[in-house]
């Protein structure tokens, strides 16, 4: 029997960054907001304090903070015609679970997309001519200029450490000269760089490139955010991504916004509540609430005036499919929008090994790094290159956790005496460069429902069909050698290039930047949600997250995800509440 709850104004499905932001914004107007989180409560002093946070086995390799595939997973194949098989243990990406979501265990690399990234089709076609037919790239229905105040708002909430490169059009030395205009400085100065960053900056500078400090949600100093919540300085412990921060020095929902939200009398959070589907009214124009199952296995229905999906991109997309909202994409016909334009991130890298110098990379932080953007987005001339988009090249020193990192030079076997000797020699004398590339949408990369594999409720798993595209490979082949050139200028003994030279593999960890599937666009014919992240089908349903990206840029997504969330919250508060209905006419 389903337990029926009293109707509330807003129900948030999932309780990570986007839900925390929305809970804060919407409760300000007196709305009654309920958040349903699939995982449990967790907070700094009790769940990931300094006393036991630095535990690589437990948190990374045993996935303490990640979704269990037993609860939700995807099936995967590289292309149509193959049989997709379930992802049984996470590898390539690691979806989070629990209060704070991925915001608890992210690195904190907090970028803004470039203005041209929002115009991926029109800007590139204007400059280089038509895109290939199978590239389903499209413009965002929102511009950088519109989002700028919300990027700024999130950076101040988090206390991002960085250096402005373009302050209201004024190009500043030491910052990123390619970035979109900023209305204000970063709230905190850049982090303190270590040996590897200095070598990278020198190498990049010698090549005429423009190195700048990576924008970081690890605090470069103590900081009080606009909500009055204070964060401590980062101690460079090297346990950021995949770990909670034990000393309040990484921006997360817990350290920036939850202390305020949790006190609001019109806010409630329920944990261990797994939402099964969004309910709709009879004529398919409104969502009426959600149905979820609690820790005891009991079913509940939570009616709400507004339903907002705040789960991870993969969960939101599947929830749309399972709820029968919109049409699932079919690559054979090109019809349907839900699951279309699934994109990822095109990653490669270069290792640098030293003889005479110690890099001591265990002294690190999630977003401690120097970056060059000379080859990102459309910051360089793509004429004749056969691809669009780009990548940043960065020297991040995030950690030297030894189960994760066994750097050995080219040609060394992966185990045995020779491996051991090489590891002993190189472990502390190694650094690496990442090439963090854009992922352009392609008609054959998509999400739909699997015909074979079911979850524990008998509902189909979502199926991912994905491989790197021609655009991805050309991009990587062009930019990885440039990273290698920088690496050669860093004064090491030798380098090792890790190219993108095979099909996408679900096992080795790459990045948890899964995007698309519930994309935003100008009309119901090209998207699932409008510019305010409002469903074209049900006007009181909003879908947050990187699922809204029509394609992914060469940056980490969180800054843009947060800006879109604030933009949506503003529209809900200023427009939707006053006049509930479609905010954009189809």
Partner 1 sequence: MQQGHLGRRSFLRGSLLGFTALVMPSALRALEFGGANMPWSAGAASPPYAGITDARYFAASEYAMVDAITARIIPSDDTGPGAKEAGVADFIDHQLAGFYGRGQRWYMQGPFPEPLETQGYQAPHPPAELWRTGLAALEQHCRDNHGAGFAALEDDTQDDILRAMEDGEIDLGSTNAAQFFDFMREMTIEGFFCDPVYGGNRDMVGWRMVGFPGARYDYRDFLHHNGASIDMPPVGLMGRPAWTRQ
Partner 2 sequence: MIGARAIVALGLAGIMQTAAAQDLSWSEMERGRYLAIASNCVSCHTDLDHDGTPWAGGREMETPFGVIVTPNITSDDATGIGRWTRDDFWRALHEGRRRDGSYMYPAFPYTHFTRMPRQDVDAIYEYLRTIPPVEADHVPEEELLLPLQVRTAISAWNALHFDQGVFVPDLDKSDEWNRGAYLVTGPGHCGACHTDRNILGGEQEDEFLRGATLENWHAPNIRGGEHGGIAHWSHDDIVAYLGSGRNEHTAPMTRMGEVVEFSTQHLTEGDLSAIATYLKSLEDTPRDASDPPQEAVFQAGQATYFDNCAACHHADGSGEAYMFARLAGSNKVQSDDPTTLIRIILEGAQAIPTNDHPGPLAMPAFDWKLDDDQIADLITYMRNAWGNNGPAVSASDVADLRETLAED
Rounded-to-integer distance, Cα 339 and Cα 515, Å: 10
Burial 11-43 (b: 16+ CB within 10 A, else e): bbbbbbbbbbbbbbbbbeeebbbbbbbbbeebb
Q: Which two tokens stand for residue 119?
A: 């115009």
Largest interatomic CA distance in the chain:
72
Residues 512-571 that bind partner 1 (CB under 8 A): none
Question: Toward partner 1, which CB reaches closer, 219 or 538?
Answer: 219
- Which one of residues 24, 31, 37, 44 is an interface residue with partner 2 (CB under 8 A)? 44
Residues 260-299 that bind partner 2 (CB under 8 A): 260, 263
Burial 339-373 (b: 16+ CB within 10 A, else e): bbbbbbbbbbbbbbbbeebebbbbbbbbbbbbbbb
Closest CA to 196 of 425, 5, 364, 20: 364
Question: Toward partner 2, which CB reaches closer, 362 or 419?
Answer: 362
Q: Is there binding between residue 248 and partner 2 (CB under 8 A)? A: yes
- Which one of residues 13, 22, 87, 561 is an interface residue with partner 1 (CB under 8 A)? 87
- Which one of residues 1, 263, 384, 411 is an interface residue with partner 1 (CB under 8 A)? 263
Stretch that binds partner 1, among 137-145, 154-162, 262-270, 340-348 (CB under 8 A): 262-270
Query: Which of partner 2, partner 1, none is residue 248 near (CB under 5 to 8 Å by kind)?
Result: partner 2
- Which one of residues 7, 9, 29, 55 is an interface residue with partner 1 (CB under 8 A)? 55
Rounded-to-integer distance, Cα 276 and Cα 271, Å: 14
Q: Is there binding between residue 91 and partner 1 (CB under 8 A)? A: yes
Residue 50 CB, nearest approach to partner 2 (Å): 5
Query: Which of partner 2, partner 1, none is residue 507 near (CB under 5 to 8 Å by kind)?
Result: partner 1
- Which one of residues 174, 177, 259, 524 is an interface residue with partner 2 (CB under 8 A)? 259
18 in Cβ contact with 545 (< 8 Å):
yes
User: What residues have CB less than 8 Å from 465, skipping those under 6 apart?
Assistant: 76, 77, 78, 79, 80, 84, 331, 342, 444, 445, 446, 447, 448
Over the window 483 to 512, marking each residue x when it contacts partner 1 by CB under 8 A and - when it does not, the resulting string is -------------------xxxxxx-----
Taking residue 271's Cβ as centre, other Cβ atoms within 10 Å add up to 17
Q: Is there binding between residue 73 and partner 1 (CB under 8 A)? A: yes
Taking residue 188's Cβ as centre, other Cβ atoms within 10 Å add up to 24
- Which one of residues 41, 181, 380, 509 is an interface residue with partner 1 (CB under 8 A)? 41
- Which one of residues 232, 423, 522, 577 is an interface residue with partner 1 (CB under 8 A)? 423
Residue 508 CB, nearest approach to partner 1 (Å): 9
Start-end of H helices in 362-403: none
Residue 192 CB, nearest approach to partner 2 (Å): 15
Q: Is there binding between residue 585 and partner 1 (CB under 8 A)? A: no
Residue 449 CB, nearest approach to partner 2 (Å): 43
- Given the residues 63, 210, 513, 539, select the one marked as catalytic: 513
The partner residues of 445 in beta bridges, in order of sequence, read none
144 in Cβ contact with 115 (< 8 Å):
yes
Rounded-to-integer distance, Cα 170 and Cα 349, Å: 32
Number of residues that bind partner 1 (CB under 8 A): 93
Q: Is there binding between residue 104 and partner 2 (CB under 8 A)? A: no
Query: Which of partner 2, partner 1, none is residue 56 near (CB under 5 to 8 Å by kind)?
Result: partner 1
Over the window 228 to 247, marking each residue x when it contacts partner 2 by CB under 8 A and - when it does not, the resulting string is xxx-xx-x-x--------xx
Q: What is the DSSP string of 466-535?
A: ----HHHHHHHHHHHHHHHHHHHTT--SEEEEE---S---SSS------B-SS-B-SSTTT-SB-TTSBB
Question: Toward partner 1, which CB reaches closer, 163 or 406?
Answer: 406
Question: Toward partner 2, which CB reaches closer, 69 or 266?
Answer: 266
Helix axes 144-158, 558-571, angle to 10 degrees: 110
Q: For 487, list phi and psi in degrees, rounded to 5.
A: -60, -40
Task: Determine whether 436 is an active site residue.
Answer: no
- Which one of residues 222, 226, 402, 581 is an interface residue with partner 2 (CB under 8 A)? 222
Stretch that binds partner 2, among 50-58, 148-156, 327-335, 355-363 (CB under 8 A): 50-58
Question: Toward partner 1, which CB reaches closer, 146 or 467?
Answer: 467
Residue 257 CB, nearest approach to partner 2 (Å): 10
Q: Is there binding between residue 243 and partner 1 (CB under 8 A)? A: no
506 in Cβ contact with 366 (< 8 Å):
no
Q: Which two tokens stand for residue 407?
A: 């750097």
- Which one of residues 415, 451, 501, 574 is an interface residue with partner 1 (CB under 8 A)? 415
User: What residues have CB less than 8 Å from 226, skipping those under 6 apart?
Assistant: 156, 157
Helix axes 558-571, 17-27, angle to 10 degrees: 30
Q: Is there binding between residue 420 and partner 1 (CB under 8 A)? A: yes
Question: Toward partner 1, which CB reaches closer, 300 or 382?
Answer: 300
Question: Toward partner 2, which CB reaches closer, 49 or 324?
Answer: 49
Rounded-to-integer distance, Cα 153 and Cα 202, Å: 33
Q: What are the catalytic residues?
A: 513
The site for partner 2 (CB under 8 A) is made up of 44-46, 49-52, 222, 224, 227-230, 232-233, 235, 237, 246-248, 255, 259-260, 263
């Amino acid at each position: 029997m389903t337990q029926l709850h009293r109707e509330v104004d807003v129900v948030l499905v999932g309780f990570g960054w986007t839900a925390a932001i929305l809970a804060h914004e919407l409760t300000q107007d007196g709305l009654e907001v309920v958040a349903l989180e699939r995982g449990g409560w967790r907070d700094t002093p009790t769940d990931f304090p300094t006393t036991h946070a630095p535990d690589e086995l437990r948190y990374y390799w045993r996935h303490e903070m990640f979704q269990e595939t037993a609860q939700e997973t995807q099936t995967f194949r590289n292309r149509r015609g193959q049989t997709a098989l379930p992802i049984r243990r996470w590898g390539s990406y690691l979806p989070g679970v629990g209060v704070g979501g991925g915001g608890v265990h992210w690195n904190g690399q907090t970028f803004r997309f470039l203005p041209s990234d929002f115009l991926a089709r029109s800007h590139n076609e204007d400059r280089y001519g038509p895109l290939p037919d199978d590239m389903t790239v499209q413009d965002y229905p929102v511009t950088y200029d519109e989002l700028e105040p919300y990027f700024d708002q999130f950076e101040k909430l988090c206390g991002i450490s960085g250096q402005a490169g373009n302050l209201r059009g004024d190009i500043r030395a030491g910052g990123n000269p390619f970035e979109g205009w900023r209305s204000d400085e970063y709230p905190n100065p850049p982090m303190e760089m270590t040996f590897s960053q200095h070598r990278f900056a020198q190498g990049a500078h010698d090549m005429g490139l423009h190195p700048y400090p990576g924008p970081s949600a690890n605090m470069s100093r103590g900081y009080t955010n606009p909500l009055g919540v204070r964060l401590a300085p980062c101690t460079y412990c090297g346990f950021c991504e995949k770990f909670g921060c034990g000393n309040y020095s990484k921006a997360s929902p817990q350290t920036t916004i939850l202390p305020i939200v949790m006190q609001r009398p019109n806010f409630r959070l329920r944990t261990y509540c797994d939402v099964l589907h969004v309910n709709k009214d009879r004529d398919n124009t409104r969502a009426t609430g959600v149905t979820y199952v609690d820790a005891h296995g009991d079913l509940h229905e939570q009616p709400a005036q507004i339903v907002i999906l705040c789960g991870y991109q993969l969960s939101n997309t599947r929830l749309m499919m399972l709820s029968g909202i919109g049409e699932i994409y079919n690559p054979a016909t090109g019809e349907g929008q839900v699951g279309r334009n699934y994109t990822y991130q095109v990653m490669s890298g270069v290792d640098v090994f030293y003889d005479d110098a110690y890099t001591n990379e265990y002294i690190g932080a999630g977003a401690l790094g120097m970056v060059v953007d000379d080859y990102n987005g459309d910051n360089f001339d793509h004429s004749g290159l056969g691809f669009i988009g780009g990548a940043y090249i960065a020297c991040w020193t995030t950690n030297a956790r030894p189960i994760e990192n066994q750097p050995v030079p080219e040609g060394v076997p992966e185990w045995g005496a020779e491996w051991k000797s090489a590891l002993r020699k190189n472990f502390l004398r190694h650094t690496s460069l990442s090439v963090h590339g854009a992922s352009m949408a392609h008609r054959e990369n998509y999400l739909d429902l699997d015909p074979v594999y079911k979850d524990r409720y008998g509902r189909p798993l979502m199926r991912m069909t994905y491989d790197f595209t021609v655009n991805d490979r050309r991009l990587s082949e062009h930019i990885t050698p440039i990273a290698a050139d920088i690496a050669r200028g860093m004064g090491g003994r030798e380098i090792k290039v890790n190219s993108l030279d095979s099909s996408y593999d679900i096992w080795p960890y790459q990045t948890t930047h899964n995007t698309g599937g519930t994309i935003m666009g100008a009309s119901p014919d090209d998207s699932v949600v409008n510019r305010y992240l409002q469903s074209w089908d049900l006007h009181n349903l909003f879908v947050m997250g990187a699922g809204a990206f029509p394609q992914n840029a060469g940056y980490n997504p969180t800054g843009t995800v947060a800006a879109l969330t604030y933009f949506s919250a503003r529209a809900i508060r200023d427009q939707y509440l006053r006049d509930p209905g479609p905010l954009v006419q189809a």
